[in-house]
Amino acid sequence: MLSNQRIFMIVGSVALVMLSAVVHEVAHGWVAYKLGDPTAKQAGRLTLNPLAHLDPVGSVLLPLLMAWIGGPVFAFAKPVPYNPYNLRNPRRDEVLVALAGPTSNLLQALVGSLAFRLAFASWSGAADALYWVLMALQIYVYVNLTLMFFNLIPLPPLDGSKIVMPLLHGSARQSYYKIQQYSMPILLVVLYVLPSVLGFDPLGMYLDATAGNLATLMMGA
């Protein structure tokens, strides 16, 4: 039977990853709008209303499954649409739009870690209401850092691919185009096949070294 803490971790992780993913997508659309593209605004996607963004599989089932398994929890919402041809400086602005999502997650993690430190300073050590608030803030910080570092992986459809692309030229860009064709199989292998079949989890190791260590540093825990 699941303990109250385990249930809280699962439900809290899924709820907070939904919130964080929505903010992530709105950030993409908001920066695109500020740089000249009104597509997201016209589509009604510059809103924090989760109903406008959540994807049943990527926003609910995937994080629920990952929280149940006990590994890193991340998710994706429906991508906010934008038209790069409307951007004032497409080559530069596409990178800024891509960076907006991970940056929003970093800012959320910073806010969460500050709130955690303030709440922790007032905590008596008892298993009271503040204890559950601290747990929620820990989850919020880690979820956002996980989303940030996961999205910085340079494979489509992740934001890292849009950040790397303008930096490549000639044969390097052509080689990257070829790799892009296999991006989803690569992600599926890394996410599921390697950990379950070979017991090797490179993504988990990467997220532990990045999101895990940074979360510990930010919260002083």
Q: Which residues are catalytic?
A: 25
Q: Which residues contact 96 (CB under 8 A, 6 or more apart)?
A: 31, 35
Q: At what angle do helices 90-122 and 129-151 cross, to 10 degrees?
A: 160
Work out the burial of residue 85: count CB atoms within 10 Å of its CB; fewer than 13 is exposed, 13-18 middle, 19 or more buried: exposed
In single-letter form, the type of residue at position 170 comes to G
Helix, strand, coil percent values for the chain (each to nearest 5)? 75, 0, 25
CA gap 189, 208 in Å, rounded: 19
Contact of 61 with 25, CB cutoff 8 Å: no
Q: Which residues contact 70 (CB under 8 A, 6 or more apart)?
A: none
- In this structure, what token pair is assigned to residue 164? 């790397």
CA gap 40, 31 in Å, rounded: 10
Chain-centre distance for alpha carbon 44 = 22
